[in-house]
């Protein structure tokens, strides 16, 4: 069982019924979304966040993906550069 603590956050009153009546999966997503900015800033890794949430890393990545948060956050240009690097390394290994 995960050790938990309670914090208080201010939300618009209109949202309170959704938060109060959330099922287990929605509560997990809510908590994961609270953690995400710290992953994005590099304060915590996906692996550590997953561990804290009681998930494996792939499940956390899938959870974020289900709400449109990509694991790889790079432009097409950055992706092309990465692929060129991979190709160069692969050529060196096979040479």
Tens digits of per-residue pLDDT, 78-93?
A: 888 989 999 999 999 8
Residue 28 belongs to a domain:
yes
For the chain, the helix, strand and coil percentages under 3-state DSSP, each to the nearest 5: 65, 0, 35
CB 79 within 8 A of CB 85: no
The domain containing residue 34 runs over which residues? 23-94
Give the chain's domain count: 1
Angle at 30 between CA 27 and CA 33, to 5 degrees: 150
Residue 15 belongs to a domain:
no
Q: Specify the pTM.
A: 0.70
Residue 3 belongs to a domain:
no
Assess whether pLDDT exceeds 80 at residue 27.
yes
């Amino acid at each position: 069982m995960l050790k938990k603590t309670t914090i208080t956050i201010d939300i618009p009153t209109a949202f309170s019924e959704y938060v109060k009546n959330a099922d287990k999966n929605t509560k997990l997503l809510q908590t994961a979304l609270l953690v995400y900015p710290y992953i994005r800033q590099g304060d915590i890794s996906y692996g550590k966040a997953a561990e804290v949430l009681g998930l494996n890393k792939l499940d956390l990545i899938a959870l974020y993906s289900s709400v449109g948060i990509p694991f790889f956050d790079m432009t097409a240009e950055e992706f092309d550069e990465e692929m060129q690097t991979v190709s160069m390394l692969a050529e060196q290994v096979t040479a």
